[in-house]
Chains A and B, each alone.
Chain A
Amino acid sequence: DGGITQSPKYLFRKEGQNVTLSCEQNLNHDAMYWYRQDPGQGLRLIYYSQIVNDFQKGDIAEGYSVSREKKESFPLTVTSAQKNPTAFYLCASSIRQGVYEQYFGPGTRLTVT
């Protein structure tokens, strides 16, 4: 059963703590992406990776960090420097970075209090 998994579905953290969101895909896709979605809004790109050991900042990278040590995995760390971390986080992948459709995971809802 191929697809993208994100865990956990819900995550609660205290302000000042770093937290890492998991994203795994078994689609053999080269490119992976992290988006943030706030209520009633569209998606904003945080980071993307075209290939293993490479990643690029998106539009709102401040306060976030990523790694891409394996093709299947693209974890996102929300650091204490992110001023408004409470949001819905979506991971996606595509065959390659470019004109291709993206496949999304089910999302992680992060609440920081």
Chain B
Amino acid sequence: SQQGEEDPQALSIQEGENATMNCSYKTSINNLQWYRQNSGRGLVHLILIRSNEREKHSGRLRVTLDTSKKSSSLLITASRAADTASYFCATRGSRLTFGEGTQLTVNP
């Protein structure tokens, strides 16, 4: 079964707004990764946060990890229409396990 579960399933915002996606998981992990998938394409790795880290930034992306709550969030600031995609969290235990994703739509 999928370990990571993203919330919300779908999110629609206006360009310039911030987008926040959440991921919850069930068992202990080594790291948590976020990936992006444009429609009909392969996944692209965005950011990896280790279990001993609490926050990580990469450009307009900010990821937090709370291991006590077994949850992570991905914040995209100042969103653009080109950010429209599905976003997946993937948790690394013995292997990488993907959630079902959040479909983000950024309207121009």
Contact = CB atoms under 8 A, between A and B. Distances in A.
Contacts, number: 48
Contact of A99 (B30, B44, B88): B30
Interface in A19-72: 35, 40-45, 48, 58
Given A105-B42, A107-B40, A42 B92 contact: no
Given A48-B95, A99-B30, A101-B48, A42 B42 contact: no
State the main secondary structure of chain B at its contact with A: strand
A83 to B, nearest CB: 19
Interface residues of B, number: 22
B25 interface: no
Interface of B: 2, 4, 30-31, 33, 35, 40-45, 48, 88, 92, 95-101
